[in-house]
Amino acid sequence: EAQVTQNPRYLITVTGKKLTVTCSQNMNHEYMSWYRQDPGLGLRQIYYSMNVEVTDKGDVPEGYKVSRKEKRNFPLILESPSPNQTSLYFCASSSWDPPVQYFGPGTRLTVT
């Protein structure tokens, strides 16, 4: 089954404790992306990657890091999480022709 997986689905952590949210896709897509979803603000892009070793900032990159060492994986790293990063996070990958994005199930992060 074609899918995007994320882990963990739920995470509660404390300020300053480094964490990684994993994302993997099995559709051989070149493009992958991370979004955060907050009430009233909709979905905002954090980072995206056009291919292996190619990443770029989205609309709200501050406080986040990403890496793309393999085509299928695109982890999101919070090196020093803060409470304002409490949010629902989605990973997505995209086909090219046409460019349709497929989303993972989401990771609900709470930073206390």
* Interacting residues with another protein (CB under 8 A): 4, 31, 33, 40-43, 45, 48, 50, 90, 92, 94, 96, 98-106
* Strand pairing report for 10-13 and 107-111: parallel
- The phi and psi torsions of 83 (rounded to 5 degrees) equal -55, -30
Residue pair 92/103 in contact by the 8 Å Cβ criterion: yes
Q: Is the CB of 79 or the CB of 106 nearer to another protein?
A: 106
Q: Is the CB of 14 or the CB of 100 nearer to another protein?
A: 100
Residue type, 15: T
Least distance to another protein, CB of residue 17, Å: 25
Least distance to another protein, CB of residue 23, Å: 12
Least distance to another protein, CB of residue 59, Å: 10
Residue pair 52/68 in contact by the 8 Å Cβ criterion: yes
Least distance to another protein, CB of residue 105, Å: 4
Q: Give the Å distances, CA to CA, from 3 to 13, 38, 73, 104.
A: 27, 24, 12, 7
Q: Is the CB of 8 or the CB of 105 nearer to another protein?
A: 105
